[in-house]
Amino acid sequence: MAICVGAKTRVICQGMTGHAGTYHTQRMIAYGTKIVAGVTPGKGGRKALDLPLFDTVREAKAATEANASIIFVPPANAGSAMIEAIEAEIPFVVCVTERVPVLDMIRVRQALEGSKTQLVGPNSQGLLAPGIAQLGVMTTVNTRRGSIGVASRSASLTSEVVAQITEAGLGQSTTVGVGGDPVHGIDLKTCLDLFLDDPETQGIVLIGEIGGTEEEEAAELVARLKPQKPIVALVVGRHAPRERRMGHAGAFMAGSAGSAESKIAALKAAGIHIVPNASAVGETMRQALAEWGVSA
């Protein structure tokens, strides 16, 4: 069982007629994702990739019964696209767009409050439930259906960790890239909570990095719930200089806040298995499952 998506997920693509939208929609369709329409203002009534186009999300949802959206809209209009999907009550939205203005994302977060929408992103590689659906730009190479849930702040590390999990014979239930911006949708804590409630997810991998407090908040949840599932965490950026952005806009340490050391300490205190480097994640998860007596 996957989180957020399933066999009945019907997806519209906002910005499907752009170069990136067209390319990745083709990839998602080839993988088996049920893409039902595209949304591009001014192109309603036409077709692209043999799919109908609509001017608005509401029109697309009414015509296709879509329950998810993937957004490939450029940064200047991505915030408005997310809000449009939220106001149309699309249950699940993924935005892969990078460099969305922070003020726009604050407006998006306000729109999310009390809404019926779960948002992944922006600046996210998306979500992949092997054999079920791909929403985003995440690689499908070296993936396999399995019982390990992966929630990550880093796209490149996700590919490495997923390959290790597959090599260890475990596979993934769902992989979620929460996004690298300082203001975004669902975070590591929310993903962790969803994985803990999923009966087919037997183990969880968290991939964190410097900046923000997501890892500490996830640690607080684990300390409070004391879940009966092994959790492995990798936090990168131990040698990153302070007050200098490292890659993602959210990977920024100011003073003593957001350091890799503080995150590792919080996760370790909650009983989470800490791996020293990216090459050890798959084997550490395999050993953790064995220690817990879990059959993955």
Among residues 24, 184, 248, 273, the one annotated as catalytic is 248
pLDDT at position 248 is: 52
**251 found inside a domain:** yes
Dihedral, CA atoms, 37, 40, 26, 167, nearest 10 degrees? -90
| 194 three-state secondary structure | helix
**Domain C-terminal end among 71, 87, 120:** 120
Best CA proximity match to 144, nearest among 175, 179, 117, 102: 175
Report d(CA 91, CA 253) in Å as an integer. Answer: 33
Co-location of 167 and 283 in the same domain: yes
pLDDT at position 197 is: 97
- pLDDT (tens place) for every residue of the chain, 296 residues total: 689 999 999 999 999 999 999 999 999 999 999 999 999 999 999 999 999 999 999 999 999 999 999 999 999 999 999 999 999 999 999 999 999 999 999 999 999 999 999 999 999 999 999 999 999 999 999 999 999 999 999 888 999 999 999 999 999 999 999 998 889 999 999 999 999 999 999 999 999 988 889 999 999 999 999 999 999 999 986 755 555 555 555 444 455 557 888 899 999 999 999 998 889 999 999 999 998 887 66
Strand order across the 11-14 sheet: 47-48, 51-54, 35-39, 11-14, 68-71, 92-95, 118-120
Best CA proximity match to 106, nearest among 193, 183, 166: 183
| Kind and range of the H or E run holding 111 | helix 102-112
Based on the residue annotation, tell me whether 248 is a catalytic residue of this protein. Answer: yes
**5 found inside a domain:** no
**131 found inside a domain:** no
Burial of 85 (0-12, 13-18, 19+ CB in 10 A): buried
- Calculate the CA 218 to chain-centre distance: 15
**65 found inside a domain:** yes
Q: Which residues, in sequence order, are CB contacts of 43 under 8 Å at separation 6+?
A: 17, 53, 55
Range of the domain at 288: 141-292
**280 found inside a domain:** yes
pLDDT at position 8 is: 96
Q: Using the 8-state DSSP alphabet, how is residue 275 labeled? A: P
pLDDT at position 259 is: 84
Q: What is the identity of the amino acid at 216?
A: E
pLDDT at position 120 is: 98
Co-location of 153 and 288 in the same domain: yes
**167 found inside a domain:** yes
Instruction: Please report, for the domain that includes residue 184, its CATH number.
Output: 3.40.50.261
**6 found inside a domain:** no
Instruction: Please report, for the domain that includes residue 53, its CATH number.
Output: 3.40.50.720
The total domain count for the chain is 2
Q: What is the identity of the amino acid at 286?
A: R
CB 130 within 8 A of CB 172: yes
| 159 three-state secondary structure | helix
